[in-house]
Amino acid sequence: MFDTLSGRLDGVFSRLRGKGRLSEADVDEALREVRIALLEADVNLSVVKSLLARVKARAIGAEVMKSLTPGQQVIKIVHEELIVTLGAEAVPLARPPAPPLVVLLAGLQGSGKTTTAAKLANHLKASGRRPLLVAADLHRPAAIDQLETLGERIGVPVYADRTANAPKLVKAAVKEARAAGNNAIIIDTAGRLQIDQELMAELAAIRKVASPHEALLVLDAMTGQEAVNVASGFLEHTELTGLIMTKLDGDARGGAAISAREVTGCPIKFVGVGEGIDELDVFHPDRMASRILGMGDVLTLIEKAEETYDEEQAEVAAAKMRDASFDLEDFLEQFQQLKKMGPLQQLIGMLPGAGAALGDVSVDERQLGRVEAIIRSMTPDERRNPRIIKGSRRRRIAAGSGTRPQDVNSVLKQFSQAQKMMKSLASGRNPLPGLEVPGMGRAKKR
């Protein structure tokens, strides 16, 4: 979502880094370009003015003018002030004095509210809680069925009653949760195509019987400034404790995510970063600011790896890489683990400087799927010893994977290069020259 903005800002900062001294005119010119980049990214005008006013006040002061690296210092200031705009620090869910934690989700229809309810339940379950999902959206015909399907998928019970009204249902669900020992309740309320009095009256009635510790508004980040307007509209009618931004993996301009905290005063608590049920992340303003400025997000990358990788398996794989005994069986296993962490393009974006270093390089997930299909079409002996793969075997593998013999050749060549890279790493030599990576290529111009 922030690729275009990150690219524009990187261009501005690259010019700043190249200057030994900065005048006030240099700072003004740079901030003018930053302003244009932020406005083009659909960031709220008042937020842009506020952010750049704070940056300029610091950038033309002594901390920059007397710095040995003034360009770097300006970037540091922009980074720090962007963190402030995004909310300064992560705000966790409330900790009630006694369980259960009650979370009320609100939002317009189509914002991803029901899916987000299941994602949040999955997140709480992974952290050791016993959540209960409450299907209180009685207006959308398929809402209850959708929530029940998602609940079954993640192993979380769903409380539903198609005959009761929403407040009565929620009251019964809270009682049921306490009796069953559920220590977290997530209430999926009805969405509307627009904010209306009926929706707000129902929300107020549900709030009264549920007494939620958290009232979170689910916003579709791809709607741009309209998402911020929706949040402001809800705040006029009801009290909110936080926001959840969905669809941050989309290709919209992303200004809503930057504007939401400052415009509404509500912290962003979670962000949806994909369609998968496990793709809901805690929102960290400092990490988001680093990603927007092309500095990567190594902490989130490490957390995803820790959640996905088995420590013993990782140690065995590392040992095989060191002694260059890593084969296609191991490669397939690591490939599966990597896929669990999320889209590869997203993971690459978390590496510091990846945007500047790789430029318009893109990862074709379909090509990665073909690589996996080719390896799966091999016998165990062929995976352990690729050198035995000759003409007839190559044709059989291609037919089994729905690819061409040339594609099989390409995978074998890339794996051979990867083995050479591992040997180089083990011996301390530079492993990178001429290396090809499966699925990676230059993005096509649109």
State residue 96 phi and psi, 5-degree precision.
-70, 150
- Which CATH number belongs to the domain containing residue 149 in this structure? 3.40.50.300
Per-residue pLDDT of the chain in tens (446 residues, 90 and over written 9): 577 787 788 888 777 777 777 778 888 888 899 899 888 888 888 999 999 999 888 888 766 656 657 777 788 888 889 999 999 889 999 999 988 999 999 998 888 899 999 999 999 999 999 999 999 999 888 899 999 999 999 999 999 998 889 999 999 999 999 999 999 999 999 887 777 788 888 889 999 999 999 999 999 888 878 888 888 888 888 899 999 999 887 666 678 888 888 888 899 999 998 888 988 999 998 888 887 876 655 566 666 666 665 666 666 666 666 666 778 887 777 777 776 766 666 666 656 555 544 445 555 667 778 888 999 999 989 988 888 998 899 999 999 999 999 999 988 888 888 777 766 665 655 444 444 445 545 444 44
- Which CATH number belongs to the domain containing residue 53 in this structure? 1.20.120.140
Question: Are 262 and 322 found together in one domain?
Answer: no
* Domain-terminating residue out of 293, 319, 336: 293
Question: Are 7 and 57 found together in one domain?
Answer: yes
Q: Are strands 214-220 and 101-106 parallel, antiparallel or unpaired?
A: parallel
- In this structure, is residue 94 part of a structural domain? no
Question: Are 121 and 160 found together in one domain?
Answer: yes
Question: Are 115 and 34 found together in one domain?
Answer: no
Question: Are 75 and 107 found together in one domain?
Answer: no
Number of domains in the chain: 3
Question: Are 252 and 200 found together in one domain?
Answer: yes
Look up tokens 């010019």; give the residue: 15
- In this structure, is residue 428 part of a structural domain? yes
pLDDT at 420: 76
CB 65 within 8 A of CB 174: no
- In this structure, is residue 143 part of a structural domain? yes
Question: Are 209 and 229 found together in one domain?
Answer: yes
In the chain, the amino acid numbered 366 is R
* Domain-terminating residue out of 266, 293, 320: 293
Retrieve residue 228's tokens. Answer: 């911020």
What is the DSSP annotation of 107-129? --TTSSHHHHHHHHHHHHHHTT-
Look up tokens 């941050």; give the residue: 248
DSSP structural state of residue 445: P
Look up tokens 């669809």; give the residue: 247
Nearest Cα neighbor of 60 from 32, 22, 30, 34 is: 22
CA separation for the pair 265, 270 (Å, rounded):
15
How much is the pTM? 0.70
pLDDT at 266: 92
Question: Are 150 and 252 found together in one domain?
Answer: yes
Question: Are 288 and 325 found together in one domain?
Answer: no
CA distances from residue 154 to 157, 170, 181, 247, 322 in whole angstroms, order as listed: 9, 21, 18, 20, 38
pLDDT at 433: 47
Domain that includes residue 22, residue range: 3-86
Question: Are 273 and 149 found together in one domain?
Answer: yes
Residue 208 burial (CB < 10 Å; 0-12/13-18/19+)?
Answer: exposed
Question: Are 126 and 200 found together in one domain?
Answer: yes
Question: Are 279 and 331 found together in one domain?
Answer: no
CB 407 within 8 A of CB 364: no
- In this structure, is residue 92 part of a structural domain? no
- In this structure, is residue 76 part of a structural domain? yes
* Domain-terminating residue out of 52, 86, 120: 86
